[in-house]
Amino acid sequence: MFGYRYLSNIHRQIVFAGFRRAAIRCCVVIPLLVLSSGSVDLQASQPEEMQSKRRFFETRIRPVLIRHCYECHAADSGELGGRLLLDHAVGLIQGGESGRAILPGDPAGSLLIRALRYEGLEMPPSEPLPPAVIADFEKWIADGAFDPRTDPPVATPDIPETPPEHWAWSPPQLPAIPDVIGQQWADTEIDQLVLKEFEAAEQRTPNDASSRIVARRLYLNLTGLPPTIQQLEEAEELLGEKSESGLESLVDRLLSSPQFGERWGRHWLDVARYGESNGNDGLGRNPTFPHAWRYRDYVIESINSDMPWDQFLSEQLAGDLLPADNDRQRDRQLIATGFLALGAKPAKAMNDDFTMDVVADQIDTIGRGILGVSIACARCHDHKTDPIPTSEYYALAGILTSTETMWGLAANEGLTAPKTDLHVLKTPPAVLPPEGFVETVLVLESNTGRPKPIPKPPWPAGTPLAMGVRDRGKPEDCPINVKGSSKNQGDIVARGFPKFCSPELMEVPEIDPARSGRLELARWITHPQHPLTARVLANRVWMHLFGRGIVATPDEFGLYGEAPVSQDLLDYLAVRLVEDRWSLKSLIRRIVLSRVFRLEAVNPDDRAQIAMATILPQRRRLDAESFRDGVMSVAGVLDLEPPDGSLIRHRDILVNLAGNLHESSPHRSVYLCYLRSSPPPELMPFDLPDFTNAVGQRAETTIPAQALFLLNSPFMQRQSAALAELICRAEDEPRRRIEFLWKQVLQRPPETEELNEAMEFVRPQSVESDSTDVLWRALCQSLLMTSEFRYLD
């Protein structure tokens, strides 16, 4: 045995000796450059020993570096790989993104050797060098890594120690409230801040909008529903009052209605990339998340109860680590951590980076969703503009790799995602599937074509479960994944938080090594001095209320993002938000009580206007949910009671095998089943995001698919029929019906011309013409299609 191994080792050496010679032969053609006369030896050596070291370097090391490494790791490389220079002695010592390349005297501890041996890192990437060449490098490092290449190094692109000045990196300051000439005009401090800009530019502020428009704006913005005609009349009365108290009581009423949480919860669900299935895993498979809806309900309830935003965020990041006084609170906090578990994952099959893909989604959602910074691109390289080095990405990643993410059974498809545990809740009742329910969506065995049996779930039927996270048994720091590949591991980075948004005056929590660090992450993010968290929220609130953010890039506050139109205004709102104990309702109340909220919508394309005017009320199309809810509300068929659970609460299946899982529902849109890659068809045409990453602001496009939906969809047919029935039941006389219809849909009586057109429309014109029922339905549908109904002016 011994003898054999010995022999085979010798044999190997002989074989590779040939290789080595070949390599050297190839390399002598490369001119032996830069034996710089003025070079300073890094090692103090005896002249003779030095001679031999130099010879060794020049014959065994330098040619290999030139041949195999310089393409990516030299000063003149097109793109410098991993910020590592191998064409200079200092480069090797200093190292790159993954840390020092060599430790002279310690080959085993040198990253370069690990990379050449393809241990973690794999260099050169094309194929490993022959072992004999690697042995040369080991010897070279063991002998002190003599390297004569000591000309002044070419400067490498570097991340500066102190982040560059950028408005968003330092905490918001309460601005001085300016004196304005039009003190009379301004109702609030917000108005003064806005008016100042108009006065400075000697421009007129837009006119006040009519009380009908203001009431519609308040209702649609705060509840996501248009007012009924009665509500509108009442609101107009309140708005007409001399004192402010009428407006205030209207606003307070809307803020305390349960519809408020459904509306504003939906905004947060976009940011949380909430989905009830994984979405296509890249191999076509799309497993359901049967318990995701608990997170949806959590969000709506928290916003309705005006949970302080810092607490809201903390529960989502670390609810499992927070103390709980009772089981209800414990359950709520566990459900909150679903925030981190809802991500859309690529398939596990053949994907070595799966774990880090999960982490990348979490970091991206925290980054763009909460902090308004894309940290996630530092997964593969130092951020191109913002001061986020790869190491800080992996400092955050360590917190999340020390965390167990629990998405559940993933439809028992291990190739998509391995099964995980779930949080078992103590307080919600066990809900069993309806009697006689049999799962019909089954995976077929590829060989036999027979359905695969569904494995027995690990929990008793009906157990209340929640997606979420918890700390792993042994938290560990995370190594850098060079160029985002988990096969290519660099230095291990201690868990921590990005420095660029941790200004000096803000104490940075220290991470307990025995825990993941999520609690500290939550504390860091919700620190009152954090420069981003409150600003990002304040900006989004403004954006939802006016149509455009003070910062036009709501998920991007870094150097790539837009600058705020008025930093004073943004900071004013952010500081007040924190002062008001992070109360979302107080912030909204503060804004909608301002006079600027009640101004007429300006045309966004008017180039003459000052920047400030671009963030005043904008005309907007109702989003998918508001449109559907609005249609059903005016048709009199919307059920405002929230439903229990979700369409798929008992179904751990692959959505892609199911065809259409959606059913029409009388409830508000927020309670529809938000399956990724298979969204509710009633919402789909109206710029629904795909919920694979955080979206602060939805797109608003106008496409023919929307027209087709309005003209032909079964939904529109159903609703028009319901609306026609409603108006025909309420009034007999055509003229009265039309007036009723206009008030019901547009909350105003028809103008004379409109009345005439509508009268003409419903008059049967010939013998073969359509029945009156059909005509009334078509008229109702027409009104629901109008831009006036579908837009918020």
Partner 1 sequence: MLNSRRLMLQTASCGFGALALNSLLAEQSGVTGNPLHPRVPFHPARAQRVIFLCMSGGPAQLDTFDYKPQTGKKPHPGSVFRFRRHGESGLHVSELLPETAKQADKLCVINGMHADTGIHAQSFLQLHTGERLRPRPSLGAWVSYGLGTENSNLPGFISLNTSKTSVYSSGFLPSIHNGTPIGVNGEDMTRATISNLPGGTPRQLQRKQLNLVQSLNRRHLTQSDGSDELEGVIRSMELGYRMQMSAPDLLDLSGETEATLRRYRVGEAVEQIGTCRPTDFGRQCLLARRFAEAGVRFIEVNHGSWDQHKNHRRDLQANCQATDAPIAALLSDLEERGMLDETLVVWGGEFGRPGLVPGDGKDETGHNARGFTFWMAGGGVKAGYVHGRTSGTGAQAVEGKVHFRDLHATILHLLGLPANDLTWFHQGRHHRLTGPDGGQVVSELFA
267-296 residues near partner 1, rule: CB under 8 A: 280-284
Q: Smaller CB distance to partner 1: residue 280 or 489?
A: 280
Residue 674 identity (one-letter amino acid) = Y
Q: Round to whole Å and give the CA distance between 766 and 764.
A: 6
**Of residues 55, 182, 701, 764, which one binds partner 1 by CB under 8 A?**
701
Smallest separation (angstroms) from partner 1 to the CB of 780:
10
**Of residues 561, 617, 630, 680, which one binds partner 1 by CB under 8 A?**
561
Nearest by Cα to 682 from 631, 757, 736, 611: 631
Q: Smaller CB distance to partner 1: residue 104 or 367?
A: 367
**Of residues 7, 108, 703, 730, which one binds partner 1 by CB under 8 A?**
703
For residue 493, report the phi and psi dihedrals to the nearest 5 degrees.
Answer: -110, 130
The three-state secondary structure class of 427 is coil
Smallest separation (angstroms) from partner 1 to the CB of 515:
30
Q: Round to whole Å and give the CA distance between 159 and 143.
A: 32
Footprint (CB under 8 A) of partner 1, residues 325-354? 346-347, 350-351
Judged by CB under 8 A, does residue 133 bind partner 1?
Answer: no
Q: Smaller CB distance to partner 1: residue 248 or 757?
A: 757
Structure tokens at 1: 């045995």
Smallest separation (angstroms) from partner 1 to the CB of 620:
9
Judged by CB under 8 A, does residue 390 bind partner 1?
Answer: no
What are the residues whose beta carbons fall under 8 Å from the beta carbon of 747, sequence distance 6 or more?
212, 216, 226, 227, 228, 229, 232
Smallest separation (angstroms) from partner 1 to the CB of 734:
15
Structure tokens at 160: 């500066």
Footprint (CB under 8 A) of partner 1, residues 99-128? none
Judged by CB under 8 A, does residue 77 bind partner 1?
Answer: no
For residue 207, report the phi and psi dihedrals to the nearest 5 degrees.
Answer: -70, 160
What are the residues whose beta carbons fall under 8 Å from the beta carbon of 642, sequence distance 6 or more?
258, 262, 297, 300, 667, 668, 671
Of 297-305, 321-329, 557-565, 662-670: span binding partner 1 (CB under 8 A): 557-565
Q: Smaller CB distance to partner 1: residue 121 or 584?
A: 121
**Of residues 236, 331, 413, 555, which one binds partner 1 by CB under 8 A?**
555
Smallest separation (angstroms) from partner 1 to the CB of 708:
4
Judged by CB under 8 A, does residue 542 bind partner 1?
Answer: no
Is 370 in contact with 376 (CB distance < 8 Å)?
no
Smallest separation (angstroms) from partner 1 to the CB of 685:
8
**Of residues 122, 136, 276, 556, which one binds partner 1 by CB under 8 A?**
556
Q: Smaller CB distance to partner 1: residue 148 or 484?
A: 484
> At CA 566, angle to CA 565 and CA 568, rounded to 5?
165
Judged by CB under 8 A, does residue 187 bind partner 1?
Answer: no
Judged by CB under 8 A, does residue 754 bind partner 1?
Answer: yes
**Of residues 494, 664, 712, 730, which one binds partner 1 by CB under 8 A?**
712
Q: Round to whole Å and give the CA distance between 443 and 662.
A: 20
For the chain, the straight-line distance linking the first and the last C-alpha, in angstroms and rounded, comes to 87
Q: Smaller CB distance to partner 1: residue 506 or 775?
A: 775
Of 393-401, 406-414, 498-506, 751-759: span binding partner 1 (CB under 8 A): 751-759
Judged by CB under 8 A, does residue 484 bind partner 1?
Answer: yes
**Of residues 15, 430, 611, 730, which one binds partner 1 by CB under 8 A?**
611
Smallest separation (angstroms) from partner 1 to the CB of 744:
15
Q: Round to whole Å and give the CA distance between 267 and 700.
A: 15
Q: Smaller CB distance to partner 1: residue 344 or 522?
A: 344
Judged by CB under 8 A, does residue 664 bind partner 1?
Answer: no
Smallest separation (angstroms) from partner 1 to the CB of 228:
21
The three-state secondary structure class of 140 is helix
Judged by CB under 8 A, does residue 711 bind partner 1?
Answer: yes
Burial grade of 102 (CB within 10 A; 0-12, 13-18, 19 or more): buried
How many chain residues touch partner 1 (CB under 8 A)? Answer: 74
Judged by CB under 8 A, does residue 719 bind partner 1?
Answer: no
Judged by CB under 8 A, does residue 15 bind partner 1?
Answer: no
Q: Round to whole Å and give the CA distance between 793 and 790.
A: 10
The one-character DSSP state at 332 is H
The three-state secondary structure class of 492 is strand
Footprint (CB under 8 A) of partner 1, residues 301-320? none
Strands 403-406 and 468-471 turn out to be: antiparallel
Smallest separation (angstroms) from partner 1 to the CB of 748:
12
Q: How far is CA 274 from the centre of its chain?
A: 10
Q: Smaller CB distance to partner 1: residue 369 or 558?
A: 558
Q: Greatest CA separation found in the chain?
A: 115
For residue 485, report the phi and psi dihedrals to the nearest 5 degrees.
Answer: -100, 125
Footprint (CB under 8 A) of partner 1, residues 675-694? 677, 681, 684-685, 687, 690, 692-693
**Of residues 13, 43, 603, 664, which one binds partner 1 by CB under 8 A?**
603
Smallest separation (angstroms) from partner 1 to the CB of 611:
5
| Length of the chain (residues) | 793
Smallest separation (angstroms) from partner 1 to the CB of 446:
8
Q: What count of other Cβ atoms lies within 10 Å of the Cβ of residue 482?
A: 27
Q: Round to whole Å and give the CA distance between 773 and 782.
A: 14
The one-character DSSP state at 282 is S
> At CA 470, angle to CA 469 and CA 475, rounded to 5?
125
